[in-house]
Amino acid sequence: MLFSSATFIIGFLPIVLLGFFVLAGSNRQRLAAAWLTAASLVFYGWWNPSYVPLLMVSIVANYLLGGYLLRKPSRAALTIGIAANLALLVYYKYTTFILMNADAALGLDWQVQQIVLPLAISFFTFQQIAYLSDAQDGAVVEHDFLNYCLFITFFPHLIAGPITHHREMMQQFGNPDNFKPRFDNISVGATLFVLGLTKKVVFADPLGARASPAFAAAAEGAALPFLDAWGAALSYTLQIYFDFSGYTDMAIGLGLLFGISLPPNFDSPYKARNVIEFWSRWHMTLTRFLTAYIYNPIVLRVTRARAAAGKPLPRRGRMTLGSFLTLVAYPTLLTMFISGVWHGAGWQFVVFGLLHGFYLVVAHAWRALKVQRGWKLDDDRPLPNAAAVLLTFLCVVVAMVFFRASDLTTALNLLAGMAGLHGIVVPTALAQLPLFSDLTEWYGLQVGPGSFFRILDWATIMALLAVVWVMPNTQQWLRHYRTALGWRARPNWLQPILPAMTWRPTPTYGAVLGLLCFFVLMRTFSSAPTEFLYFQF
C-alpha cells in the first residue's frame, strides 16, 4: 500500500485514525497501541501477506533475544543474533547477486531465479540489530512486547524509514499524553503530509519520467551527448531528493496525526558545503546508525590496537599520514562500503559507497590540513560558500549516476556522456539565442532537437535547483511547531525577509493548503500511484 494511493488516503488512513482516536479518547492506551500495531501489519501485508509471518518471526525472535541480553549480557549470544539478522537479509537481498556473479566467473551455466525482496527488510533489520546491541550494553530501558512490536511495525516509518531508535520511540509509546488527539498535531501533521505528497506527485514523478528513458537508453548502449547525459543525472538527483524527502515529510506528518514524533531524516542536503556535511543532512537516521554501530566500533578497535602497540592517539593538528589512514581513511571507507552494499545488491552500489567513502576521506584530509595550518574550517563569504556547495553537489550527482544505473557499464556510459566524450548537441531553440548561437559557431557544436531533454525540461531542472538551494525546507517552514523529534531548524535567509516563509495556523494558510491539497489529490487519483524509490531497499 502506497501513501500516495487512493486506497491509503481515503480508505486505510481514515479508518485507522478514527479507531485510534476512539480508543485513545477513552483512555485505552494499550488498546490504541494494539490497534496501531494490527493496522501496521495490515499495511505491511497489503503488498504480500506471505511476508507478514516473516516479519513477526523476526520481531519475536529479536524481542526474546533482547530480553535475554538484558538479563544476561553475552557477547556470543549477541553475535549469534546479529548473524541471524544478517543471514536473513543476505538470503533475500544478495543471494541472487552472489549466484549470478559466481555463475559468470566460473561459467557454470546456472539458471538463477530472482528472489522477491520483502519490503523494508533492510530497515527493520538495522533497527533490530541496534536494539540487540543496546540490550547487550544495558542501554535498553523498556522491554514491553506490545511497544516493541509497534516500534518495529509503526506504519508511517515501516517501509522506508526514518530508521528509528528504540529509546526515542519506546518513551513516546509509554507516554499517555501522546495518545491524546491534539489539534496542533493534526494540523501540522496534515500539512506535512500534503507537502510531502506534493513533492512526490508534482516534482519527483515527472522528473523520474524524464530520467528513466535516458538511463534506459544508456543501459542499451546509446551514447548520450553531453546535455542529455547531464539532464538524466540532474533529473534523477532531483527526483530522489523530492521522492525521499517527500516520503519522510509524509511519514513524519502521519506520525504526528497519532501523536508520535519521528526523527528527522532530511535537512536540505544539497545546501551542504562538503560531503561530511552532506551526510549529516541526507538520510540522517542512516548516518546516525552507521556512525553509532559501525564507524565508532571500528575506530574504537583500531584505537585499542594502536594503544596495545604503544602508539598513542595523535594530538589535534599533529596527525601523521599513517595515523590518518588507520584512524580516518580505513573506518570511513569500510563504513561507506557497508552503506553501499546495504543500499542494493549490485557492483554499482559498491562503487556508490566507496566513491562517497573517497569523498569523505578527501574532505577529512582537507579539514585536517586546515587545522594543521591554522586556517578557518568554514568560509562563510558568499562566493566561496556557493563554490563549496556547487562542488559538493557535483560530487553527489556523479555518485547518484551509480546509484540509479542498472549496472556499472550503464553508469560509466552515462558518465562518459557527462564528460563530453559523446559530443555536445545544442538544442535548436537554444542555439537560436544570441549568446548561444555565437558559442555554437565558435566551437563548431552540433545543433539538433535533442533526444530526451528540451528547453522546458531544462527550465524545470533549473527552477527546482533554485528551490532546493534557496527556499526553506518543510521543517524550516514549520519551525515554530512540533514536527520531527528534537528538531532544531537551521535559519533560512528568506524567512526574516518574507514572513510567508513561516507557517502559521491561520485561515489564509488553511485556504491555500486546502487548494493545494485538492489539486494534488486530483492529480494523484487521476493516475496510477508510483512506488517510492527507497521501497526497493
Active site residues: 343
- Rounded to 5 degrees, φ, ψ at 87 are -65, -40
- What DSSP designation does 313 have? P
Q: Which residue has the cell 526497493?
A: 536
| Contacts with 38 (C-beta within 8 Å, 6 or more apart), sequence order | none
Residue 131 to residue 328: CA distance in whole angstroms: 27
Phi-psi region of 5 (alpha: psi -120 to 50; beta: other; left: phi over 0): beta
Task: From 242, 240, 262, select the one nearest 253 (Cα to Cα).
Answer: 262
On whether the CB atoms of residues 524 and 197 are closer than 8 A, the answer is: yes
* 3-class secondary-structure state, position 266: strand
* In contact, 411 and 348? CB cutoff 8 Å: yes
CB 436 within 8 A of CB 430: yes
Given CA atoms 428, 433, 436, 438 in this order, what sign does their dihedral have?
Answer: positive
Sign of CA dihedral 265, 269, 275, 280: negative
* Distant-in-sequence, close-in-space partners of 410: CB < 8 Å, separation ≥ 6: 215, 218, 219, 348
C-alpha 316/C-alpha 198 separation (Å) is: 47
- CA 235/CA 159 separation, integer angstroms: 24
Locus of grid cell 527550465? 459
Q: Which residues pair with 59 in a beta bridge?
A: none
Q: Which three cell numbers stand for residue 250?
A: 509524509
- Return the SS3 of 225: coil
State the cell numbers at 517. 491539497
Contact 156, 262 (CB under 8 A): yes
Residue 245: helix, strand or coil by DSSP? Answer: helix
Could you write out the three-class secondary structure of 118-175?
CCCHHHHHHHHHHHHHHHHCCCCCCCCHHHHHHHHHCHHHHCCCCCCCHHHHHHHHCC
Other Cβ atoms closer than 10 A to 86: 13
Give Cβ neighbours of residue 473 (< 8 Å, ≥ 6 apart). Answer: 245, 266, 267, 268, 492
What's the CA gap between 172 and 147, in Å, rounded? Answer: 10
**What whole-number distance in Å separates Cα of residue 428 and Cα of residue 237?**
26
